[in-house]
């Protein structure tokens, strides 16, 4: 199905024969991934469009019901921007990274761990799941330290961007305990430091590191792009870690795609069997990527 093809608004629009075909095609994948852990980074349009939010919640619950273990890590950049604008706070950026002073960090915490996380928990629970919201503080999950941002022109210089964190370690025991008990963990990317200070951490990074630590079967990154494209703009649906290195070296992958790919590549090289960069603008793209032969993004295999 091309991205331009009309997508049925519900299963009612699909003929019984086609429905049976879809279900039959899903069976080998359900069998293959039963009992396996899937870490899902939830962001982009999938997170702000109400119809896509509903699709996402249904997909997560279905994956849990057929015996997989989905874990959701969410972002929330646009929501943080909106909340800061409401209190009249202008964002300061260094090399595209938000400087997070203590007041901004307070806003980040209540937006991510409050509003955004609880919206996602509510959506999943409304369609029959049992979601539980966590931050990196819960169960001492994500220990972090201040990230020093290297200057893009002079790597020997660094910039202080405030309470932006890098991960020191992840203890996944609270996530494992919830998974084993039929719950779906929903994690806000906030860590804590040695002096109990909070840190805002890139959600792609948290999802990638969590997938590594849990030795997840799959890491899925929902984005606002079709996936990794070649120089002619064609979608590359299946890549190895080595091919990704080559695409970075020759400049095919550059700009905003680099940090997303860096985390994905680390995960693929560290024991996660497959990393999927999925077009979150396509209804039920995540489910289609996992349970059918059709590609709705780029899969990066560990080898």
Half-sphere exposure of 15 (CA within 13 A, CB side): 3
Beta bridge partners of 219: 39, 275
Contact call for residues 199 and 164 (beta carbons, < 8 A): yes
Q: Judge whether 297 is annotated as a binding position.
A: no
Query: Is the Cβ–Cβ distance between 218 and 272 less than 8 Å?
Result: yes
| Mean pLDDT of the 214-226 span | 91
Taking only the tens place, the pLDDT of each residue in 2-56 is: 444 444 445 566 678 877 877 888 899 999 999 999 999 998 778 888 999 999 9
Average pLDDT over residues 250-261: 78
- Would you tell me how many other CB atoms lie within 10 Å of the CB of residue 247? 19
Say whether 200 counts as a known binding-site residue.
Answer: yes
Q: pLDDT-derived band of residue 288, with 50, 70 and 90 as boundaries?
A: confident
91 is in an annotated binding site: no
What local confidence, expressed as pLDDT, does residue 8 receive?
A: 42
Task: State pLDDT tens for residues 226-248.
Answer: 888 888 888 888 888 888 888 88
- Report whether 98 belongs to an annotated binding site: yes
Domains of the chain and CATH, by start: 32-301 (3.40.1160.10)
0.85 exceeded by pTM: yes
Across residues 248-269, what is the average pLDDT? 81
pLDDT digit string, tens, across residues 61-114 = 999 999 999 999 999 988 998 999 999 998 788 887 888 999 999 999 999 999
What torsion do the CA atoms of 290, 294, 297, 303 make, to the nearest 10 degrees?
70
């Amino acid at each position: 199905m091309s991205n331009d093809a009309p997508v049925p608004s519900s299963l009612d629009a699909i003929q019984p024969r086609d429905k049976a075909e879809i279900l039959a095609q899903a069976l080998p994948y359900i069998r293959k991934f039963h009992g396996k852990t899937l870490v899902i980074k939830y962001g982009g349009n999938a997170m702000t469009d109400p119809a896509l939010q509903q699709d996402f919640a249904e997909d997560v619950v279905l994956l849990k019901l057929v015996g997989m273990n989905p874990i959701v890590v969410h972002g929330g950049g646009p929501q943080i921007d909106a909340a800061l604008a409401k209190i009249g706070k202008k964002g300061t950026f260094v090399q595209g990274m938000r400087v997070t002073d203590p007041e901004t960090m307070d806003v980040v915490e209540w937006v991510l761990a409050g509003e955004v996380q609880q919206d996602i928990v509510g959506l999943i629970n409304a369609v029959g799941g049992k979601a539980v919201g966590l931050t990196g503080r819960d169960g001492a999950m994500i220990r972090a330290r201040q990230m020093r941002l290297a200057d893009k022109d002079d790597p020997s210089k660094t910039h202080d961007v405030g309470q932006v964190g890098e991960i020191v370690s992840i203890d996944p025991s609270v996530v494992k305990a919830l998974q084993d008990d039929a719950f779906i963990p929903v994690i806000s990317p906030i860590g804590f430091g040695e002096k109990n200070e909070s840190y805002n951490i890139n959600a792609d990074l948290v999802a990638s590191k969590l997938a590594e630590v849990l030795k997840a079967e799959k890491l899925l990154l929902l984005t606002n792009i079709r996936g990794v494209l070649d120089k002619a703009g064609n979608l590359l649906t299946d890549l190895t870690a080595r091919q990704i290195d080559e695409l970075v070296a020759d400049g095919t992958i550059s700009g905003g795609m680099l940090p997303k790919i860096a985390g994905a590549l680390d995960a693929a090289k560290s024991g996660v069997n497959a990393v999927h960069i999925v077009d979150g603008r396509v209804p039920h793209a995540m489910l289609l990527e996992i349970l059918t032969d059709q590609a709705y993004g780029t899969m990066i295999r560990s080898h």
